[in-house]
């Protein structure tokens, strides 16, 4: 009677003629179908883990030798073989094989080809479960460091432009309606702060990530006298993970990375959206050069901000990656399920997308040509200094703010009826609404005076902006560029 693991009617090689797997074939008489082989293999994407897999294998091998679990001569041969394999991969000469499923078995099989049977000793006291968890943590840790460097470069570009435009007046918006004048430097500093929080989220995720699963084996630990603290230290982890079940089943580190990446991508998307708006003729606040724009196949006058639009679009892919992995993990019992093979592709794609988006936005910020005249003209539109008038009524006439708000609203209505800005109304016209108003009020109705008056901590006054740029630049230097 055929084994229940063999497709009905198939003999030892199965209907496809496939041989039993060299990885786990001792249990199985026949090999997987072509469809099973295709869905099961991950080498097409997890080959990106090769450097981390080799580093973890070398740490594991060295520990096994120190503990007397394998012979030192075998350990030296294994380490030398792994180094040679890394060279092959980086030179593009490595023969990746889909039938070996993943990066772990591709490397182990190649090691056997190079050094013979002693290669099999490397997998003593570990499983692919703790192996992949270790490799993936190492890769995400590196991705966090790359993201941090990208964010630091983005901050540096923003700070350079903010310093140049500390006093450049522009409209500040709420509801995309002109609200109060601000400076362009102040506006850019808002994104410096967002990027700082992004860096903090990645740093926090890195701290929690930095524990080693290696040595947890399949799920229960191992009976071999291994030293998990030694392998953790060798790989730069703070400590080994405390529970073997958690060690192989946890993907919180990947979710935290994706959450931080998604928030950072949203920040990039918001600035990208503003660049799309600001480069239109209707706004005309900034222009991008040929380096970050494209033309139209039919309209020769067009200059499209495609780089900004693509950053805006790609944020959805990062957000989608977070959702995808949350959904993969939400129903999994402990410990490992093959579902978790699908953890890597969204993380890889999100990391790539974020790094590209950061590079693009950093380039665009440096590339911007700012139309200061157009910004200044727009800053006074829509009665943007109305709040300054209300504040003046409070300070000079002692009005409660709500009364001053009401009086100012009536003055705005009068200005709109006349087709004027409130700063263009005569003193006599202002006094029709509020007799106590004096000629001094015109000192606060200009947009430059408005921004100069916003001296509260975190406000838009040019002096504040210059101080904030200096403080942020110092913080960036102290923390390092990633």
pLDDT tens, residue order, the chain (482 aa): 333 333 333 333 444 445 555 555 556 666 677 888 888 889 999 999 999 999 999 999 999 999 999 999 999 999 999 999 999 999 999 999 999 999 999 999 999 999 999 999 999 999 999 999 999 999 999 999 999 999 999 999 999 999 999 999 999 999 998 888 999 999 999 999 999 999 999 999 999 999 999 999 999 999 999 999 999 999 999 999 999 999 999 999 999 999 999 999 999 999 999 999 999 999 999 999 999 887 766 776 668 899 999 999 999 999 999 999 999 999 999 999 999 999 999 999 999 999 999 999 999 999 999 999 999 999 988 787 888 889 889 998 999 999 999 999 998 999 899 888 888 888 998 998 988 888 888 888 888 988 998 999 999 999 999 999 999 999 999 987 65
Angle subtended at Cα 239 by Cα 69 and Cα 132, rounded to the nearest 5 degrees: 65
The whole-number pLDDT of residue 421 equals 85
The whole-number pLDDT of residue 45 equals 92
Catalytic residue among 175, 223, 297, 456: 175
Distance CA 139, CA 343 (A): 13
* Residue 304 φ/ψ, nearest 5 degrees: -95, 135
* Residue 92 φ/ψ, nearest 5 degrees: 75, 20
Residue with tokens 């006054």: 461
Distance CA 56, CA 134 (A): 7
Distance CA 58, CA 237 (A): 15
Concerning whether 175 is annotated as a catalytic residue, the answer is yes
293: Cβ contacts below 8 Å, ≥ 6 apart: 303, 304, 305, 306, 307
Can you say how many angstroms the Cα of residue 161 is from the centroid of all Cα atoms in its chain?
22
The whole-number pLDDT of residue 423 equals 85
Residue 17's CB is within 10 A of a number of other CB atoms, namely 12
Catalytic residue among 3, 296, 406, 426: 296
Tell me if 155 sits within 8 A of 195, measured CB to CB: yes
**In terms of DSSP H, where are the helices of 242-282?**
244-249, 252-278
Distance CA 357, CA 315 (A): 8
Angle, to 10 degrees, between the axis of helix 252-278 and the axis of helix 344-367? 30
Concerning whether 178 is annotated as a catalytic residue, the answer is no
Q: What is the CA radius of gyration of the chain?
A: 31
Tell me if 412 sits within 8 A of 434, measured CB to CB: no
* Residue 182 φ/ψ, nearest 5 degrees: -135, 180
């Amino acid at each position: 009677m055929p084994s229940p693991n063999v497709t009905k009617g198939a003999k030892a090689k199965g209907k496809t003629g496939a041989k039993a797997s060299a990885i786990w074939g001792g249990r199985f008489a026949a090999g997987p179908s072509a469809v099973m082989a295709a869905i099961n293999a991950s080498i097409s994407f997890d080959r990106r883990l090769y450097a981390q897999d080799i580093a973890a294998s070398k740490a594991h091998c060295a520990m096994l030798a120190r503990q007397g679990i394998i012979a030192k001569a075998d350990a030296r041969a294994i380490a030398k073989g792994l180094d040679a394999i890394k060279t092959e991969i980086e030179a593009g000469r490595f023969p990746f094989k889909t039938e070996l499923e993943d990066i772990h078995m591709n490397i182990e099989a190649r090691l056997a080809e190079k050094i013979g049977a002693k290669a099999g000793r490397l997998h003593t006291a570990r499983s692919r479960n703790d192996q992949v968890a270790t490799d993936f943590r190492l890769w995400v840790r590196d991705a966090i460091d790359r993201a941090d460097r990208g964010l630091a470069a983005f901050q540096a570009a923003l700070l350079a432009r903010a310093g140049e435009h500390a006093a450049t007046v522009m409209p500040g918006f709420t509801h995309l309606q002109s609200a109060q004048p601000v400076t362009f430097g102040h506006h850019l500093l808002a994104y410096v702060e967002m990027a700082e929080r992004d860096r903090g989220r990645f740093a926090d995720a890195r701290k929690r990530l930095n524990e080693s699963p290696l040595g947890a084996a399949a799920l229960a630990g191992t009976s071999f006298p291994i030293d998990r603290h030694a392998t953790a230290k060798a790989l730069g982890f703070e400590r080994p993970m405390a529970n073997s079940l958690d060690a192989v089943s946890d993907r919180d580190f990947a979710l935290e990375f994706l959450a931080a990446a998604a928030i950072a991508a949203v920040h990039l998307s918001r600035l990208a959206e503003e660049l799309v708006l600001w480069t239109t003729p209707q706004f005309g606040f900034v222009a991008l050069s040929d380096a970050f724009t494209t033309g139209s196949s039919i309209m020769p006058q067009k200059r499209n901000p495609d780089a900004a639009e693509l950053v805006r679009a790609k944020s959805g892919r990062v957000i989608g990656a977070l959702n995808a992995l949350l959904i993969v993990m939400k129903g999994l019992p402990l410990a490992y399920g093959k579902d978790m093979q699908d953890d890597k592709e969204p993380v890889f794609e999100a990391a790539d997308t974020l790094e590209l988006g950061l590079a693009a936005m950093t380039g665009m910020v440096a590339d911007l040509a700012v139309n200061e005249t157009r910004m200044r003209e727009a800053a006074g539109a829509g009665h943007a200094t109305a709040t300054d008038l209300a504040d003046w009524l409070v300070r000079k006439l002692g009005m409660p703010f709500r009364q001053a708000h009401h009086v100012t609203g009536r003055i705005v209505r009068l200005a709109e009826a006349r087709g004027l800005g409130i700063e263009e109304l005569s003193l006599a016209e202002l006094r029709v609404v509020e007799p106590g108003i004096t000629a001094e009020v015109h000192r606060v109705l200009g947009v430059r005076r408005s921004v100069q008056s916003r001296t509260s901590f975190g406000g838009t006054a040019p002096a504040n902006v210059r101080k904030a740029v200096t403080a942020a630049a110092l913080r960036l230097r102290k923390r390092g560029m990633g």
